[in-house]
Structure 1
């Protein structure tokens, strides 16, 4: 720590512009919104809710339709509690060896490398970047469906509800991608605070609209049939289909709580004082608590409104037709939110590739040189690489636009290692929990049970993708 302080002084940091390790000092929030948010707790909570309250909320009524009241609602609460607990463990891994005065671990993979090392470090990197890439593709798919839903909503209002009003999603995918190419030039997490605040407001807006529309439908006496065990087995639902759909629904719920992958990157935006781990624990409690409350309200009321016939996306499945303008506003809010969520989830992957290239070719002007234009800067490598990534993600979204199964597979595959396994293993290592002790046994048992659930969810999602592929025409996604 002393060496780092000397580094700051030697580099002219007389005004405290550098942090305790010589990096640019973290402010925790943008100057432009300092009046609105008097502290870093607000912006980190906003980052968390930006990632947590994503496309997952749109499928929760469908999840309850597959699982029913007995399993669905308790499962939402269980995932929230487990996620909250493991995230508290993870916040103490930001600094090593001491969670308050130790050396900073700037990202999740670095924390795993310091605490666990070797093969687990590589497995963590693979898991983290897989969900970041998959999540960005999923957000692209969801946004296109929501944009198409605006056009369909207006068509239904004009021509009646018996008209299909179907439209190709391709143009909407390209619109979303064009905006993301511009937003992707935001250099790092520290510059995303305003984006996260706007995205969080949008997430509450569209969830609130869905909530209000569901309440109106239920109060108006138009509620549908629900059950304790979900959609009944019958002519339209075989026992095998029900089993696979239930597994896929578990994966969707897991995806709804998949934000641990960027938790330490978010924590790295906090100021050093008060201690980052203490502020982050409060942020996790606020972010996950608010998100879970919203999930419960939207999922339960959506299920009451649509019953066992709930669609995979309750704002684009058109259980709601009127007021059409409110449905339009809800879907526009989804798009704006996912524009920001795309950046929050993919920034660590951008940083990984760019740091890797800097280490490979040190001193390369193409990679390192920044061209300053007033308050903005452009880096040619960042411009080229990030634009190329968005184009590739867009191509995948155009080719494989399977919302529910895609979300479920990503959630089930990555939730277990990133939200359960690594936080618990790092806690056991840091706290030196004796092998065979009561704490060690129940933590290992929790890890094993969650692994089984994740495997079943992954199997259900893979089966759903296989069914979707059987009738799919490439580049012909239609809403």
Structure 2
């Protein structure tokens, strides 16, 4: 069997006349590959802070919060998957901003762009911080500086950032998804072993106790920050449209891309929620109200050393892949803008393909090399300046969850379906928007309070684990 017979012939144009970016012969995009992208994007550094989040909220509110964010994210992602095409012309949209522009337009487009790209940039900075903590590993007890580990992470990302787009990232997402399962299972197993070994730390239905573990105001701010951490752990709506657009580039006409994406979303979030509840609940059972912010590196588990080191290696590999998933929309947006502004400039044009050992043909681009390298360096430098793990995660979750996961999908659904104002469906959809806004504001306030506290003792470029 020759090579091309193993691959799917991808049409050069879509059913709406749009040019596809997928190769003429390409591995077909399926809901399975989309699920890998989703799991890579969702099961990230957020899982590491879930036991701490449940410790602040307690058994009842903590588990309810996990289920609530899971159901809301699944529901709004299903709505968002139906918005990938323009409601009038039927042409497909390649990014979240284009979707909002087609369905809502006006100031909503700018609001979406700010929310999405601030979140994407912030997430890549957060991943740079988390990777350094994992690279430090058992050196954490010796207070080793994180800067060198962030630089190593940055060098790896500079190389991987030269991968052109999502179509070429499937292998990395699959690997990253496997790694996320790996370290989640290790954390899960160690939590079970700790509980089974007779460890019975103090837990409660309401979490940390005022007057014993925390003060009244610490309890309020910590609970708010915990909501932000949980919201961040489900933040993948920022890249859902980009994943769906890349899926369409190599997808057969049947089933429709929105149906494949719904299937991928349901699978990805179901698997993720199962791991989140298991890791969060068992992590809390293992550490109680003293659960650390990062249960694998934050003075949580230390033995067996070799297994913790493997878990941290898995985290690093996963974050390497997740960083790329969140970077691609930023890379492509800037590069598309530069090409549209200077279409005939030699700097923005791609050169002829070159052959690389083990990787085959690769189209070199000076713009891609310079711009993406500069971006990675910038995120690493900012990560060195602001090394606040839980506070950063909480703030990112709070800032992105309401507009990108809740507000825009629901607003676009109401617009596309022409739902009349003040009917029952319109009322409960808008009630959901308001409730999620309140939660996001509380989470943002708690995270800002935590970052402000860290700022009082921090020195730039002097982060230690």
TM-score tier (shorter): over 0.9
User: Hey, what's the Cα distance between the residues in 2 that align with 1:15 and 1:455?
Assistant: 45
Give, in angstroms, the shift of residue 102 of structure 1: 2.0
Cα separation, partners in 2 of 1:398 and 1:19, compared to 1, 3 Å: same
Is contact 1:29-1:43 (8 Å) kept?
no
Among candidates 184, 208, 211, match of residue 188 of structure 2:
211
| 1:157 match | none
Matched, 1:65 2:83: no
| 1:439 match | 425
Query: For structure 2, which runs of at least 5 residues remain unmatched after alignment?
Result: 1-8, 356-360
User: Hey, what's the Cα distance between the residues in 1 that align with 2:87 and 2:136?
Assistant: 50
Matches within 5 A, 1:184-263: 184-234=161-211, 236-263=213-240
Is contact 2:402-2:440 (8 Å) kept?
yes
> Is the partner of 2:142 in helix, strand or coil?
coil
User: Hey, what's the Cα distance between the residues in 2 that align with 1:105 and 1:276?
Assistant: 12
Give, in angstroms, the shift of residue 237 of structure 1: 1.2
TM-score normalised to structure 1 length: 0.91
| 2:72 match | 82
Give, in angstroms, the shift of residue 15 of structure 1: 8.0
Is contact 1:94-1:264 (8 Å) kept?
yes
What count of residue pairs does the alignment treat as equivalent? 447
User: Hey, what's the Cα distance between the residues in 2 that align with 1:29 and 1:218?
Assistant: 52
Give CA deviations for 1:394-436 in whole Å, capped at 9, x if unaligned: 1100011000000100110111000000000000000000011
Among candidates 348, 368, 376, match of residue 367 of structure 1:
348
Is contact 1:19-1:26 (8 Å) kept?
no
| 1:268 match | 245
User: Hey, what's the Cα distance between the residues in 2 that align with 1:359 and 1:16?
Assistant: 24
| 1:146 match | 134
Give, in angstroms, the shift of residue 221 of structure 1: 0.7
| 2:20 match | 24
Among candidates 83, 90, 94, match of residue 93 of structure 1:
83
Give CA deviations for 1:309-363 in whole Å, capped at 9, x if unaligned: 0000000023212110000000000000000000001110111111111122221
Is contact 1:207-1:294 (8 Å) kept?
yes
Among candidates 384, 389, 401, match of residue 398 of structure 1:
384
| 2:364 match | 378
Matches within 5 A, 1:445-464: 445-464=431-450
Is contact 1:28-1:269 (8 Å) kept?
no
What is the RMSD of the two structures over their aligned residues, measured on CA atoms?
A: 1.7
Runs of 4+ in 1 over 4 A off after TM superposition: 25-30
Query: For structure 1, which runs of at least 5 residues remain unmatched after alignment?
Result: 1-13, 153-163
| 1:339 match | 320
Give, in angstroms, the shift of residue 19 of structure 1: 3.3
Give CA deviations for 1:54-76 in whole Å, capped at 9, x if unaligned: 00000000000100011000110
| 1:168 match | 145
User: Hey, what's the Cα distance between the residues in 2 that align with 1:416 and 1:24?
Assistant: 32
Give CA deviations for 1:52-98 in whole Å, capped at 9, x if unaligned: 00000000000001000110001100110011000000000011227
